[in-house]
Amino acid sequence: MDTIFIHDLRVEARIGVYDWEQHLPQTIRLDITLGAPSETPFHSGKIADALDYAKVVERLRAFAKDAPPPLLERYAEKTAQLLLTEYGVPWVRVRVAKLGQQPGVKELGVEIERRA
C-alpha cells in the first residue's frame, strides 16, 4: 500500500464549543495520511502524474479559515470528505489536535479513517 503523508501541519481555525473559541483563532495541528490515488508517479517519475502536496496543504489552510464546525470530530470528518472528493484518494486518515488546551495536556484531539 502506497501512502502520502503531511505531518505537523499547523493551521489557524475558529473551532470549539466555547464562546471565546468561536471568536479567537487558535492553532490546530493536522496529521494527514492519504492512500496514493495511483501508482503511476512511482514508475513515471513525472510530477504531472503525482498529487501536488503543496496544493493539498494550501487547500487545507483555506478550509481551516472557512468557519469550520465547532466540534473537532466534525472538522475531522469534513476534512476527510474534502480530501476524498477533491483529490480522488482511496482512503484517508485525519488526526486533528488542539494544542495546550488543558493544563498538563500537550495536545488533545481526534483521529479518523475514511474510505472513498
| 88's grid cell | 480522488
Active site members = 98
Positive or negative: CA dihedral 65, 68, 73, 79: negative
pLDDT category of residue 25 using cuts at 50, 70 and 90: confident
Domain at 3-115, CATH from 3.30.1130.10, 3.10.180.10, 3.40.30.10, 3.40.50.300: 3.30.1130.10
pLDDT category of residue 50 using cuts at 50, 70 and 90: very high
pLDDT category of residue 19 using cuts at 50, 70 and 90: confident
Q: What's this model's pTM, rounded to 2 decimal places? A: 0.91
Q: How far is the C-alpha of 16 from the C-alpha of 98, rounded, in Å?
A: 9
Give which of 76, 79, 43, 47 is closest to 62, Cα–Cα. Answer: 79
More confident position, 112 or 71: 112
More confident position, 59 or 18: 59
